[in-house]
Amino acid sequence: MQYKGIKVNVITGFLGSGKTTLIKQLLEQVPEGERWAVLVNEFGEVGIDGELLKVGDIAIKQVPGGCLCCVSSAAFSVGLNELIKTAKPDRILIEPTGIGHPHQIVEQLCSKPYYGVLEVCGTICLMDVRNLSDPRYLGQPAFFDQIDDADILIASKADLYSSDDELRFLQFAKQFEPAKSVIALSEHGRFDQSWLDVARAQQHSHHDHDHDHDHDHDHDHDHDHDHDHDHDHDHDHDVVTSQPSAGVMCYQKRDLDMASIGWVADSNWFITSERFEQFLAYLSEASNFWRFKGIIRVDDQFEQINMTQTEMQRRATDEVLTSRFECIFSITDGYEKHLNVLHKILF
């Protein structure tokens, strides 16, 4: 076979856990003589992380519109196959959506069509330990599914933790069966590259244990791994496109209990810094807001933004021509109101 033994790592972590930062760091340290590639499977339709991950000549393939409860098999497989054939990589890093369940992606990588082609190495999960104290995260089954399925569990943003946070993480991480191959605290996306070659555990337990976070996530959702979706299912992801202003496209997507609103704007569009501060202030107060991420032109400067309810990172960037940005919300009664208010501020 032409393509053999391509190493693959799935890198998971809930919204805001630092996946993009970690992947970017890894891509800047690719061993000499190796070719790496990245497959990004995002929830929204806009495709943010592909833009943010550009490093040198690394091949990056975006598969937008990820399904939250399973792999939208056709698009994922087509993207993966294209990456294998065109990039001919030695290693592929796969970043699934931060609000999805990764187990089926790993199963697909281990399926018959990829025997001998892919060598599935350890799955990595990044987590912010402080979220173990946040009921919003504890109520999200995907948060625990990602942790359950990981061989390598990393507490990212360790520079922001107290000693109590560190201790809590170590106690939490040591409870799993099978035991995690690597348990580590990491600052600023630091990662020992040798961990990428950790073997994938043969069998991860799913939903059959109750960690001591006093949250029995076994019963919190109705789409367990024995659900009836087949991989090529056609349930409605409810994508709506509109043009709220000249040169701007808006993409809304709903799936299960989450919604993304994404915008792509041409280089002429911008938001004033005063209005942008209003926009950020509104998001920070919205109870069902999860994340805002992207590149946006504020006055005459493009900014790269990553914001959750508790954190904000923003910096100037100059290698772009279009604004691409996205908000993720839980779907509640106030969702339509959010869209209307955000469009009034933006446009």
Task: Give the tens place of pLDDT for each residue, 168-182.
Answer: 999 999 999 899 999
Residue 230: the pLDDT is: 39
Cα distances (angstroms) measured from residue 165 to each of 57, 162, 336: 38, 5, 37
What tens digit of pLDDT does each residue of 52-106 get? 777 777 888 888 766 655 555 577 888 899 999 999 999 999 998 888 788 888 8
CA distances from 306 to 16, 168, 224 (A): 8, 26, 31
DSSP β-ladder status, 248-255 and 118-120: unpaired
Q: CB–CB of 322/265 below 8 Å?
A: yes
Interval 190-221: pLDDT, tens: 899 999 999 998 666 554 444 444 443 333 33
What CA–CA distance (Å, rounded) separates 106 from 109? 5
What does the alpha-carbon distance between residue 126 and residue 106 come to, in Å, rounded to a whole number? Answer: 16
Mean pLDDT, range 114-123, rounded to an integer: 94
Q: Does the structure show a pLDDT above 80 at 238?
A: no
How does DSSP classify residue 177? Answer: S
pLDDT at 236: 52
Q: Quote the pLDDT of residue 224.
A: 38
Dihedral of alpha carbons 58, 51, 103, 19, sign:
positive
**Cα dihedral across residues 257, 329, 209, 122: positive or negative:** positive
Segment 285-301 shows an average pLDDT of 92
Q: Which of 260, 262, 265 is nearest to 250 (CA)?
A: 262
- pTM, two decimal places: 0.83
Q: How confident is the model at residue 333 (pLDDT cuts 50, 70, 90)?
A: low
pLDDT confidence of residue 104 = 82
Q: Which two tokens stand for residue 122?
A: 């350890």
pLDDT(244) > 80? yes
Q: Say yes or no to pLDDT of 323 above 90.
A: yes
Residue 326 has pLDDT above 50, yes or no: yes
